[in-house]
Structure 1
Amino acid sequence: MKAQIQKAFKYQQLIDMMYIAKDGSISKRRVKILSVAEDSFQAYCFLRHKKRTFKMDNVLSAMPVIHKERQII
């Protein structure tokens, strides 16, 4: 998971992730990673509209957001 997060940070990609909180609740979040530390990372969370700190161990899945361009013919 750490490699995916570092790659998203390197290429400035948005990611959709499933995250488990301290209380055990699971949420789906779209984030833009701002910085990466050893066991955590800071990101702008579009769900909460704030900068948040996330623990790497609590990320259940992470997928890059892919924008496809549409052609008008």
Structure 2
Amino acid sequence: MEKFFQKAQFSGQPIMIMYLSQKGMVTKRLVSVEHINGDSILGFCHLRKAKRRFLLDNILAALPPTSIEIKEYMNVVTKSI
């Protein structure tokens, strides 16, 4: 999975992750990877509109989003604000 994150970092394309929080909640996040650090990635979380650190062990799945998913995700986030 690390190669996938590296590719996302260098291409600037966001990725969709399923993430297990420290509180045990699973969330779906659109993330733009900025830095990979051994056990975590630092990226811009489009859900929280802020830089966040994601532990690699807590990333349950990571996929490239389709352009439709990006648009739908951004519309949902915009409407919820």
SS at match of 2:32: strand
The superposition leaves residues 7-43 of structure 1 with CA deviations (integer Å, 9 ceiling, x where unpaired) of: 1112111101100011110000001011111111110
Conserved 8 A contact 1:19-1:59: yes
What root-mean-square deviation, in Å, do the aligned CA atoms of Structure 1 and Structure 2 show?
1.4
Unaligned runs of 5+ in 2: 69-81
DSSP-derived class of the 1:47 partner = coil
Classify the secondary structure of the residue corresponding to 1:44: strand
In structure 1, the partner of 2:77 is none
**What SS does the aligned partner of 1:5 have?**
helix
Which one has a larger percent helix, Structure 1 or Structure 2?
2
TM-score, normalised to structure 2's length?
A: 0.76
Q: Percent identity?
A: 37
Large movers: runs of 4+ above 2 Å: 65-68
- Please give the secondary structure, in 2, of the residue aligned with 1:48: coil
For residue 61 of structure 2, what is the aligned residue in structure 1? 61
Which protein has greater RCO, CA pairs closer than 8 Å, 6+ apart? 1
Quick one: distance in 1 between partners of 2:43 and 2:31?
A: 6
Q: How many residues align structurally?
A: 68
Structure whose residues are more often strand by fraction: 1
Contact in 2 for aligned 1:32/1:43 (Cα 8 Å): yes
